[in-house]
Amino acid sequence: MTIPPIAAEPIFHLGSFPITNSLINAWIAVGLFVLFAAFVRAKLTSGTPNRFQSAVEGLLEFLLGYVDGVTGDRAKSKKFLPLVASLFLFILVSNWMGLIPGVGSVWRTIDLHGHIENAPIFRPANADLNLTLAMALLTVIVSHFVGMITVGFFAHWNKFIALGTIFKGFRKGGINILVAIVEAAVGAIELVSEVAKVVSLSLRLFGNIFAGEVLITVMYSLVSYVVPLPFMLLELIVGVVQASVFSMLTLVYLTILSEKPHGHEEEHHEDELGEAHGLKPQPASAS
């Protein structure tokens, strides 16, 4: 029995770039999506939709309705769906590919740091922390870009560090300085929580998929027939759950960071009421 190591093993190199067994699985998954997209594109018609096109459009409409339940806005749903659906499908297919015969069982002799070892040629892509960390970073960075584009640069970052409140507090003095210090501390905690998002997203997905690989390996080493089947079924369910959790959290991050800060709409509404009654906000008198 050989328990798979935490780090993915390099199978060969392109120049100085190592090609790991998990990267091979990731490329295969991407290749399958490219082929499927080309197939769907070839089946699309400009006239009356055929059955296949109707099924694809129905699936997209269902997914948009599902995303609408989180965003509450069809325009946002159309913007977020490509990223969220791509992550879901890639994670799901990558997870299920780990159950295909040959993944983890076809071995190759490699030279790892001067030591000759055997390593599986194929390994589930999400059992590599590098990949899950990259997807988590992508999710958080894109959500912040969407926030900055949607509500504005300063309004977006003011959700984390209220710079205006901090500067006003230090300028007014007294108890306001303490309030400004508290605001700065809360802002620092908010920024730490953004780093925690990356850690939790990546480790949750990696931990569940890697643990499943270890479990299947142990069960196959003990009993090769029948007994591992319930555990493989469990891995099918885990694959769906982990893909759903990762993509749903991505959608939630995108939705939250694309919303206007609290109080922005209320202040805008008060200004409109004032203008409707012929009232204009008066400039503050110099003290």
For the chain (287 residues), the mean pLDDT of every run of 10, in chain order, is 73 86 93 92 79 86 89 91 93 90 72 65 89 94 93 83 70 73 78 91 92 80 72 88 94 90 50 46 43
Residue 204 located in a structural domain? yes
In a domain, 255, yes or no: yes
Taking only the tens place, the pLDDT of each residue in 63-119 is: 898 899 999 889 999 999 999 999 999 999 999 988 887 776 676 776 666 555 677
pLDDT of residue 283: 47
* Model confidence, pTM: 0.81
Q: Which one, of 267, 264, 257, lies nearest residue 160 by Cα?
A: 257
- Say if 227 falls within a structural domain: yes
- What pLDDT was estimated at residue 203? 94
Q: Which long-range contacts (CB under 8 A, 24 or more apart) does 27-34 make?
A: 28/97, 29/90, 29/93, 29/94, 29/97, 29/125, 30/90, 32/93, 33/89, 33/90, 33/93
In a domain, 223, yes or no: yes
The rounded distance, in Å, linking the Cα atoms of 268 and 271 is: 5
| Domain tally, the chain | 1
| Residue 272 falls inside a structural domain | no
- Asked, for residue 123, whether it belongs to a domain, the answer is yes
- Is residue 155 assigned to a domain? yes
User: What is the domain extent for residue 22?
Assistant: 10-262
Phi, psi of 161 (to 5 degrees): -130, 110
Q: Is 278 within the bounds of a domain?
A: no
Share of the chain above pLDDT 90, in %: 35
